[in-house]
């Protein structure tokens, strides 16, 4: 006797599987600027500083056609796109719009895990409105975002976070992609490994040297091979190549760190000048710490040279940093450890980490360079 087909819903999800949506705003900061200034619509724009040390925070899709991208030096972007229009970031505006979007999410589920101002995971397995279909909910959310903010968003729908994140990038901008149960491994197999979270340019180069170009190539390698070549990342890569991700959406996820940094107009090597800049960074960072009532135990100083090499110094306490004076004293002590500098620096940053409530482990990047956390 033939078995009856397993019951599924409109998304193809069997009972017991999660229904996850990843929503990612399209060129968020640049789109807000184009929305608020209609003369910028349809033009290549960049959000960031346009000075000799400027860096793009993001850019519009019109600019991306020229090869411009986030984190690119502004001088490079201007060479690629001579007509590029720069706008200074307005984080107060972006934050206000982000709150509008977050409120829309919370109309459908309390399980919202923000990753940044412009993207979040939603678990709609049991949605508040009883809609049942994650795909339908994603469509409703995208339409409401457009109606209420004048902006577009892309969404990925699947049965785990890893696949939903990949799916949201599949049909950008203003698109939606669904990966049903049973389709994850096949979907991943056809992707270049550089699309995987945690695999940066260096990681992709290392994999290419091992003849791993696609998800299918990665899935063909056994766990022993992956452990020999990728160490602690082997288990993550093994699961990812098969579309497996067991992490849950965590609402109100704890911050990993709080900090601030400054890129200089000209390289600085003077100890007195660096101490003055550090004091301003301390003031900004401590204001942020007080605003969110954060408590942390590790202070890290970051310096970056003109050739983009850098150095860090960190100090951890057995208890949270108690006062601004203590935070400042440790920051200055870390700077004193590296003075005098062997060469000038172009950037300085200070962060407080090991925050109370931190309970997740961020997968480390494959091949060195740090990647934005998927968690």
At the top level of CATH, which class does the domain 184-240 belong to?
mainly alpha
Of 147, 162, 135, 156, give the one whose Cα is nearest residue 104.
147
Name the average pLDDT for the chain. Answer: 87
Phi, psi at 347, each rounded to 5° = -145, 145
Contacts of 144 (CB under 8 A, 6+ apart): 104
Task: Please indicate whether the domains covering 13-180 and 184-240 agree at the CATH topology level.
Answer: no
Work out the pLDDT band at 8, boundaries 50, 70, 90: very low
Gap between the Cα atoms of 375 and 32, Å rounded: 25
User: What is the arithmetic mean of pLDDT over 150-163?
Assistant: 97
User: What is the arithmetic mean of pLDDT over 96-118?
Assistant: 93
Tens of pLDDT, residue by residue over 296-355, are: 899 999 999 877 788 999 999 888 898 888 999 999 999 999 999 888 998 999 999 887
Q: Where are the domains of the chain?
A: 13-180, 184-240, 257-353
Work out the pLDDT band at 2, boundaries 50, 70, 90: very low
Q: What is the pTM of this model?
A: 0.71
Tens of pLDDT, residue by residue over 96-106, are: 999 999 999 99
Fold of 13-180: Alpha-Beta Plaits (3.30.70)
Which residue of the set 119, 148, 213, 261 is catalytic? Answer: 119
Q: Name the DSSP letter for residue 30.
A: H
**Residue 189: is its pLDDT beyond 80?**
yes
Q: Any known ligand binding at 118?
A: yes
Tokens for 289? Answer: 């710490």
Q: Any known ligand binding at 24?
A: yes
Is 119 known to be catalytic? yes
At the top level of CATH, which class does the domain 257-353 belong to?
alpha beta
**Residue pair 233/198 in contact by the 8 Å Cβ criterion:** yes
Phi, psi at 261, each rounded to 5° = -145, 165
Work out the pLDDT band at 263, boundaries 50, 70, 90: confident
Residue 289 pLDDT: 83
Identity of the highest mean pLDDT range in 151-160, 232-241, 301-310: 151-160
- The number of residues in the chain equals 375
**Residue 361: is its pLDDT beyond 70?**
no
């Amino acid at each position: 006797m033939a078995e009856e087909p397993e019951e599924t819903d409109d998304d193809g999800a069997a009972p017991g599987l999660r229904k996850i949506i990843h929503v990612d705003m399209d060129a968020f900061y640049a789109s807000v600027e184009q929305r608020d200034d209609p003369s910028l619509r349809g033009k290549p724009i960049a959000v960031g500083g346009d000075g000799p040390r400027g860096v793009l925070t993001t850019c519009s899709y019109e600019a991306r056609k020229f090869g411009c991208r986030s984190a690119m030096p502004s001088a490079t972007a201007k060479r690629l796109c001579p007509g590029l229009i720069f706008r200074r970031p307005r984080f107060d505006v972006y934050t206000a719009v982000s709150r509008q979007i977050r409120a829309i999410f919370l109309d459908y589920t309390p399980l919202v895990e923000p990753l940044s101002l412009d993207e979040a995971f939603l678990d709609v397995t049991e949605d508040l409105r009883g809609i049942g279909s994650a795909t339908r909910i994603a469509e409703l959310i995208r339409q409401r975002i457009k109606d209420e903010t004048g902006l577009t968003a892309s969404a990925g729908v699947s049965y785990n976070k890893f696949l939903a994140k990949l799916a949201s990038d599949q049909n950008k901008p203003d698109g939606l992609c669904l990966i049903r149960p049973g389709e994850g491994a096949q979907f991943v197999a056809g992707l270049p490994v550089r699309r995987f979270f945690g695999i940066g340019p260096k990681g992709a180069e290392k994999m290419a040297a091992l003849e791993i170009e696609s998800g299918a190539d990665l899935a063909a390698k056994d766990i022993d091979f992956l452990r020999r070549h990728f160490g602690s990342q082997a288990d993550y890569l093994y699961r990812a190549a098969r579309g497996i991700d067991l992490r849950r959406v965590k609402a109100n996820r704890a911050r990993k760190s709080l900090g601030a940094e400054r890129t200089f107009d000209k390289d600085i090597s003077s100890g007195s000048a660096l101490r003055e800049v550090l004091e301003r960074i301390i003031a900004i960072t401590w204001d942020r710490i007080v605003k969110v009532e954060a408590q942390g135990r590790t202070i890290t100083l970051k310096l970056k040279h003109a050739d983009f090499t850098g150095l860090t110094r960190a100090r951890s306490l057995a208890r949270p940093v108690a006062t601004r004076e203590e935070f400042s004293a440790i920051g200055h002590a870390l700077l004193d450890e590296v003075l005098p500098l062997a060469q000038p620096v172009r950037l300085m940053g200070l962060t407080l980490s090991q925050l109370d409530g931190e309970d997740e482990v961020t997968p480390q990047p494959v091949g060195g360079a740090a990647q934005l956390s998927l968690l």
